[in-house]
Amino acid sequence: MKSTLAVAAILFASTSFAQHGGHQMVTPADLKWSDVPSLPPGAKIAVIEGPMNQAVPFTVRLKFPAGYQIPAHSHPEVERVTVLSGTFYMGTGDKLDKKNSSTMKPGSLMIMQPKTNHFAWTGKGEVVVQLNGNGPWGVTYVDPADDPRKK
């Protein structure tokens, strides 16, 4: 968790977006994508607002390749995920179960309560989601062996 928070803090500190009278304006070209140590290899993160390691609101985008899987996990705070592109599959439970997943198309929103075990996966195409929440943020895997930070 600490490595993810450190990466997020570094990304936010090095990101500069247009500021207009106190408003922050971000275009897709402004995003700086980086690896996500707390997720399986292949995921990318772009921190828009943060930092994720402090008790403040944050906004990030996550990009997942086709055929990507996130094992069952939970977060310490409410997670709000909006699908921006692609088809994202998500479900609740202690193990990734494709048969018991909801199909989420662009514009769909998922709100997960703290410490709710859930999982996600992508199908044939790339998926981009926006994650909004309050820090400090973390990822706790149901099965510690699924945690890529321990490999």
For position 70, which CATH number holds?
2.60.120.10
3-state SS assignment for residue 135: coil
Q: According to the model, what pLDDT value does residue 22 have?
A: 73
Structure confidence at residue 12 (pLDDT): 40
Asked if residue 46 lies in contact with residue 30, where contact means CB atoms within 8 angstroms, the answer is no
Q: What is the DSSP letter of 10?
A: H
pLDDT band at 19 (very low <50, low <70, confident <90, very high): low
In total, how many domains does the chain have?
1
Checking if the pLDDT of 64 tops 90, the result is yes
| Of the candidate ranges 10-14, 31-35, 84-88, the one whose mean pLDDT is the lowest | 10-14
Give pLDDT tens digits for 84-109. Answer: 999 999 999 999 999 999 999 999 99
Q: Which residues pair with 18 in a beta bridge?
A: 25
CA distances (Å), 50 to each of 15, 74, 95, in order?
10, 20, 30
Helix (H/G/I), strand (E/B), else coil: 65: coil
Residue 3 pLDDT: 44
In angstroms, rounded to a whole number, what is the distance separating the alpha carbons of residues 80 and 67? 22
Domain span at residue 36 reads 2-150
